[in-house]
Amino acid sequence: QITLKESGPTLVKPTQTLTLTCTFSGFSLSTIGVGVGWIRQPPGKALEFLTLIYYNGDQRYSPSLKNRLTITSDTSKNQVVLTMTDMDPVDTATYYCARRPSSWYTLDFWGQGTFVTVSS
């Protein structure tokens, strides 16, 4: 059974750095082709791809947010960590992590999401 779960602060202040952790089970990030990524969704708005890390450490970033994002992985702990700097109220959103399976260019399993509010 494949599961992913996001964890981290629910409230951050403007200009602060957000750190979210995705803890997963049922698959290995060491498997060729597999990746784990982050997607966010502001209230009432569309999904937005942020970043993804592959089994070999290769990283992909949204061009518009690349300067603020960092993604890392710890395969021994089955965790992927998202760091986003200089948070702003417009970054208020539900943040999801999801798996990229080994053979398909899609995101097949998603976490339940964690809502982050940016406010002073």
Residues found near another protein in the complex (CB under 8 A)? 37, 39, 46-49, 51-52, 60-63, 66, 96, 104-113
Q: How far is the CB of 120 from another protein (least distance, A)?
A: 27
Please report which residue ranges of 1-120 form alpha helices under DSSP H: none
Q: Which is nearer to another protein, 16 or 92 (CB)?
A: 92
Instruction: Pick between residue 16 and residue 101 the one whose CB is nearest to another protein.
Output: 101
Token representation of residue 79: 């965790």
Residues 90, 115: Cα–Cα separation, whole Å: 13
Residue closer to another protein by CB (options 8, 60) is 60
Q: How far apart are CA 20 and CA 30, in angstroms?
A: 21
